[in-house]
Amino acid sequence: MNETVLDKFLRYVKIDTQSSEESDTYPSTSKQLNLLNLLVDELKTLGLKDTRIDKYGYVMATLPSNVTHKVPAVGFIAHVDTSPSASGENVKPQVIKYNGGDVVLPGDKSIVIRESENPELKHCIGKTIITSDGTTLLGADNKAGIAIIMTAVQHLLNNPKIPHGDIKIGFTPDEEVGAGTKYFELKAFGADFAYTVDGDTAGELNKETFSANSATITVHGRNIHPGFAKNIMVNSIRAMADIIVRTPKDMAPETTEGYEPYIHPHVLKGEEEKTTLNFLFRDFVTDGLEKQKKILEKIIEEVKPLHPKTRIELEIKESYRNMREGLEKDPRVTDYLWEATKRSGLEPKWVPIRGGTDGSRLTAMGLPCPNIFTGGNNFHGKTEWASLEGMEKSIETVVNLVQVWVEKSKG
């Protein structure tokens, strides 16, 4: 198992693990188990004797401490599933020495990784990047994280003089559909602190995520043959169209950045009888989610008189919450990550995640869990790419991090 991180990454991305928002099973797709079971076999081959997979697909294992004094157990977590937003089937990874400029992907030449849209590319000139062929996503989110964790474990086993406490390994399904920790048992995992390896640009660390809710507007109408529809048909699609055009354009993902919140309509299904529209609510301030709800309620009240024969419903569900408050309760988990990143020769910076990770929920559940970079970029689409150097620096950071915990835990 003396593979490089690139060897592992190329092998993992070829396994289709796309999750599904439409499923009522767990995991949402059985094909995620193909990679989860492979990881069980690989961890056992590495010699991690307590490796197991539970009935929900969670893979857990322990690399035992090799020091005599007590050190908190530290976990590293990555998810196996890829986004439903683009196909993850038959991924053909391209390993490229990047020499600058735009990257035209060979499987679909209309798919271009543009230098102007990817400022991080300038740091990769003369170095190796990995892309898909343009017909699928790559799967760096989060197979780069898996490859980083597995390679770090391999490195620690090959170098037993590197001191570390108990290291807990966790691989989860269904993160991309918001269910990555739905059945995750903290006691079974056994970590005191943990880190998701699910970030992007090298050196960027995450201790803040959005707080998030989901919303669904359902418009009920009445269908009848269009040839006899006058004064009878109630077309739910038309009412929904009037709702959509009233959503604030200055609160869209495509018009916001940094700490700015957004309301994002992202799945629309409908015909005359019934139309549904799913929204994402995102705000770094949890109270802002209530403001977003009121915005939609106001829009619905404006539209009802325009379509008086329709029935319009709004449903709100909690998704996850900003992990900042939970992490502030014990600053060691973030302070030590900062130190480990500096030791890797990088200039670390805290960057808010305009999204969420398994770490959001795990922190809320009581397991402090900030996020480490992977070197990936452009997640969820066909222009996704990863920096090999970014992955290697992440491995170095993980190895440094377990040593920092040992050093800081000495009496």
Task: List the catalytic residues.
Answer: 81, 175
Task: Give the integer Cα–Cα distance in Å for 108 and 133.
Answer: 7
Query: What's the DSSP call for residue 219?
Result: E
Residue among 209, 218, 262, 258 at smallest CA distance from 240: 218
Q: Two tokens at 118?
A: 């990817």
Q: Tally the C-alpha atoms within 13 A of residue 379's C-alpha that lie toward its C-beta.
A: 23
Q: Could you please report the per-residue DSSP string of 159-182?
A: -TTS----EEEEEES-GGGT-TTT
Q: Where are the alpha helices (DSSP H) in 76-226?
A: 140-158, 186-189
CB 396 within 8 A of CB 149: no
d(CA 147, CA 144): 5
- Distance, CA of 102 to CA of 96 (rounded, Å): 12
Rounded to whole angstroms, the Cα distance separating 308 from 331 reads 55
